[in-house]
Amino acid sequence: MATIHLVSDSLERLQGFLAGIEWTNDSALSVVSVDPERRTAVLCDRDAEEDHHWRLGPFGLEAFDSAA
C-alpha cells in the first residue's frame, strides 16, 4: 500500500479528477484527504508499493519532485 500526493494549480481540475476517482473506484484507490487552500490531495493506492508525487496539469498527470 502506498500514498499518492497530488498537486494542482486549479482547484476545479483537482476536484473533477477526485470525483472521477470516486465514481470509477474499484477499491484500489481511495481519497484520504483534500486541502482546498493548497490545492492538494492525498490518496491511498492499495496496489502500489512506493509513494508517488504527481502534478495534475491541463494535459493530465505528470511526475512531481516534492523536494523542489
- Model confidence over 42-58: pLDDT tens digits? 999 998 999 999 999 88
Ranges assigned E (strand) in the chain: 2-8, 29-35, 40-45, 52-57, 60-63
Tell me the CA distances in angstroms from 65 to 8, 24, 51, one per residue in order. Answer: 13, 27, 12
Q: Residue 66: which pLDDT band, with cuts at 50, 70 and 90?
A: low
Given a cut of 90, is residue 65 above it in pLDDT? no
Total-model pTM: 0.81
Q: Could you tell me the CA-to-CA distances from 14 to 1, 8, 49 in Å, in that order?
A: 22, 6, 24
